[in-house]
Structure 1
């Protein structure tokens, strides 16, 4: 009887604990991959990770960078003449022929849907002037995006000692790419037919082609050295998640499991609203008016919604005279910084400033509001 009573007491205690801390007790998703990450698209918040900053070979998920550079070149309607070097690229192929003329747009679809290494080389030579010149552009773009543990040595992802990245860096890249409408259209396409082909290309990404209903993009990869690599994006309701796995033997299930875990345990929550706020200068105690230009929204677990804290910093000596950013606000969950946004001196940016910010963001991938 005594043991039964103790067991009952323990059960009640566990039940009460689960009521007060339900989200904190949620088990993390199980993954087969050596390296994995799950982030939320709009905020970039990391929801789950495993050795996400460890440098690894990445195989054909490299082609996300190749595609976004090609798209941003503005040359998608150009006619590309296929070189001998492109035709003889080893590995997966869309079977280009030497001297063939094909639109750059078609090459991008062949690159992303069928993972054509020949398409990657043809794109690189046309956009970068040479494959080596294009690789330089890839590494420049990686630096601008803050991919600090990444090095590109080719546009297709075949193994090389100087070609590697991390799960985190590839999530940063995919997050940036998914802000481009053309890229989003390409990566979610199930089938595409080039004018140069009598047959259509079907996307190799099984989650995109029906295995997981919420998937809206991604890229597959495989080499013997890298193993299976996979990037996926999924949209459910108002939440968009990005998953990356490196060396994942059961990667389809890894991604489905991470997505389901993320959608089940997090909700998009507005933690601050755009508009006017009063801030106090630390040195003088003077109060100044600042503005947020948009609502601040984060993916949060239920218990985290009560744990949000913020700290604001006015950085200008004379904020009243400033014409743009006068400071920043950092938001914390359980004392961990999760979001940083700019405080502006005016209710809205001028059209000129908006244009500058838009161009800067498109080049560098930097978002002044986090």
Structure 2
């Protein structure tokens, strides 16, 4: 009978762990995982990573530098909270006092350990949301900013579409496993790129620890203390999502965002992140492939002036490897002539940069000034002037 009781307790423990798992082990301090902090050089064929889906995106340009199943929809666990933070910061008052509901205080998984009835500022709750991955903080924030969980989730989904994350759907503000709650590595990189442009978000996710009232909050992101240049962003874990991690790392003015989804362990998600970030840092450097400059002039037909100056509108700098630089070429699409009237800054052509046979980036070519169209009277005057010159 005693053996049956022991076995029953073990099985119940395993059941509860699987059902209620969300960042259960994420609350451990973010300790160093890598013995050697030097950056390794990888070739893309060497990137055998544990993550089922992964991506590296350049922060400045949004260019994808590496991807593995990056457009496959998956549960994303607490990486959800990046969007929760965006909606809260953009729609809430950071100094508002938020009263914690029974609903928020009773949620399971990773917690800030809030108590029903206590009050904190929205700013303080954001630290609990992003550092210790508090599911209770997520609900308290959603109920306060959205007025209800349902309305806040609607706001999250609307924001996702605005950002361009079209393969993402939120059903919770915390990321616990639920039918219809999913994203992709690509979409999460897009969402994170947007979030990192928000100063408060950028500041919170690189914070390793902070004292909030009587609580000492420590960041669950192991990369902050393990990877040179790491400055964010968010961990995640549920039974269906596996170990997930979004990382931002900055070195020498280069900032890359990595996302790894469904890794088998905390160590494997960190190693997967390290490998793909090392790959990006070792190969990709910012290169100016388009310069904003005047190209010359275009003939103008039926205009008061015979030509109009034209210029490339924007300078484009993107990360490229040495091998890619060797395969770049440029095409300029311009008509042989244009007809008056011409409006200043009107688009008259396009400059395209190709990598192999694919367009890498483009810039409009615009008119440098306005040119009015000649009237019939002006043509008559021109004819008379020409005739007078001939008879002199």
Structure 1-normalised TM-score? 0.79
Task: Specify the alignment match of 1:268 in structure 2.
Answer: 286
Task: Specify the alignment match of 1:203 in structure 2.
Answer: 219
Paired residue for 1:153, among 162, 166, 171?
171
- Judge conservation of contact 1:267–1:299 (CA < 8 Å) in 2: yes
Task: Specify the alignment match of 1:17 in structure 2.
Answer: none
**Which of 299-308 and 32-41 deviates more?**
299-308
| 1:344 Cα deviation after fit | 5.6
Larger Rg: 2
For 1:300 and 1:174, locate their aligned partners in 2 and report how far apart those are by CA, in whole Å: 22
| 1:292 Cα deviation after fit | 2.5
Q: How do 1:27-38 residues align onto structure 2 when only pairs under 5 Å count? A: 27-38=45-56
Q: How do 1:229-248 residues align onto structure 2 when only pairs under 5 Å count? A: 229-248=244-263
For 1:163 and 1:279, locate their aligned partners in 2 and report how far apart those are by CA, in whole Å: 55
Task: Specify the alignment match of 1:220 in structure 2.
Answer: 235
How many corresponding residue pairs? Answer: 320
How large is the Cα RMSD of the aligned pairs?
2.9
Q: How do 1:246-257 residues align onto structure 2 when only pairs under 5 Å count? A: 246-249=261-264, 250-257=268-275
Change beyond 3 A, Cα 1:322–1:118: farther
* 2:358 is equivalent to residue 320 of structure 1: no
Change beyond 3 A, Cα 1:342–1:189: farther
- Judge conservation of contact 2:43–2:279 (CA < 8 Å) in 1: no
- Judge conservation of contact 2:42–2:279 (CA < 8 Å) in 1: no
Structure 2 unaligned residues grouped into runs of 5+: 1-40, 370-392
For 1:51 and 1:105, locate their aligned partners in 2 and report how far apart those are by CA, in whole Å: 35
For 1:134 and 1:279, locate their aligned partners in 2 and report how far apart those are by CA, in whole Å: 54
Change beyond 3 A, Cα 1:290–1:224: same
Structure 1 unaligned residues grouped into runs of 5+: 1-22, 348-370
Task: Specify the alignment match of 1:61 in structure 2.
Answer: 79
Task: Specify the alignment match of 2:113 in structure 1.
Answer: 95
Paired residue for 2:194, among 176, 183, 187?
176
- Judge conservation of contact 1:43–1:339 (CA < 8 Å) in 2: no
* 2:316 is equivalent to residue 296 of structure 1: yes
Change beyond 3 A, Cα 1:192–1:303: same
Structure 2-normalised TM-score? 0.75
